[in-house]
Chain A
């Protein structure tokens, strides 16, 4: 960022293509683990909250607090215990997905019309069958909206984990700040935004394939 220096040095891009590819892979891996683990935990807590409605407020309250704690602060609080590790990054990333996912799973299932549920019960479905064969399929669109938001948010947060030695595109941003060199800065920032946009587009396609009835006219 010294005067006369171009904003992007294309030769740097060329000579670091391999490393950029590797960091993109890291970024996606960190995101995938966080959303998958987050979804598994959120799913269990949501089913619990749907069965025992009294548990819903404390669950949203707790995950709400986790969501409010700044990401860097949460990572920092974990470092003395779990070190500068993948585990530290994932505990933070997972805890940010919980509120978004639980809200959408619960809202999606609660949004299923009562008549549909009663019809299923009248046909002799058990509670478990109603959940798996009626409520969850019908709630899929809302649940997927939650997965999309959680994924985009996580892709953004992964950049912050570069501070605790995890990398992804955040590695290039930190490198750019440290070297005062705009090329990696822009590669990291634009790369992370592009990953978010692509992931969102990909999830929309998956959702369409899974819920063909939502766009059949």
Chain B
């Protein structure tokens, strides 16, 4: 390692171990909680909006074109552009800066992967299984609840995982519109050229994103129905 790397790592370590940075309303724990709150709410709203549509489309087999293409459209929406739209909407609704503009940006970012994966998850359930359930006299809502959702759960969760990781990453941009969360350290660090704060913020966000990815992956594995796990 060259001298510059060593001194950068040393100042990063100093910043991270300085008790002053762990206290009060601008401290690391508060920023992490803000980040989780912002991301969690946005993912929840996206799931609440996307899941019923996806389950309906998936169960009836209708709207496949829409469900698949929504993902492609979603990819074309740049996060910073969504933030810009979120800001315009929040201001015109009188909701102010910070939290709400960011939520408005994050929800449309999270909907496409949730919607597309949940739709595919229900569609991919073996039609023979669904038909035999119907033959046994299960109602349509029972088929959805006790067959299609449990069997499709791992794939649905993988859509939510993609959304969550993306949202955790993008919530960082909220600091640009005077929001809190971990982006604060990065944006302030850039503005003030305080590289220790900048790198600490980047490190914390990266860890949170990787942590989100890893915990959802574990959750996916845990939700594979025992019968399916045996087949695999």
A residues with CB within 8 A of B:
1, 7, 65, 68-74, 76-77, 79-81, 149, 152-153, 155-160, 162-164, 169-170, 173-174, 176-177, 182, 185-186, 188-190, 192-193, 196-197, 200
Contacts and interface: CB of A to CB of B under 8 A. Distances in A.
Contacts of A174: 176
A162 B80 contact: yes
A194 to B, nearest CB: 10
Given A70-B209, A73-B186, A189 B199 contact: no
Interface string B1-40: 0001100100000000000000000000000000000000
A145 B92 CA distance: 39
B180 to A, nearest CB: 15
Nearest to A200: B76
Contacts of A159: 78-81
Contacts of A177: 83-84, 87, 176-177
B199 A68 contact: no
Given A153-B75, A185-B84, A189-B84, 7 more contacts: A69-B169, A72-B186, A74-B202, A156-B76, A156-B79, A157-B78, A159-B81
A196 B209 contact: no
B111 interface: no
A68 B5 CA distance: 23
B190 A79 contact: yes
Contacts of B173: 72, 160
Contacts of B8: 80-81
Contacts, number: 135
Nearest to B185: A76
Given A76-B190, A80-B198, A68 B81 contact: no
A185 B209 CA distance: 28
B116 interface: no
B168 to A, nearest CB: 7
A140 to B, nearest CB: 20
A152 B199 contact: no
A160 B5 CA distance: 25
B46 interface: no
25 contacts: A68-B210, A68-B213, A69-B209, A70-B205, A71-B169, A72-B169, A73-B202, A76-B189, A76-B190, A77-B203, A81-B5, A152-B76, A156-B78, A156-B79, A156-B81, A159-B78, A160-B79, A163-B190, A170-B78, A173-B81, A177-B84, A188-B84, A189-B82, A189-B85, A197-B76
A189 B78 contact: yes
Contacts of A176: 84
A73 B201 contact: yes
A65 B210 contact: yes
Most B-side CB within 10 Å, residue of A80, A152, A159, A188 = A80
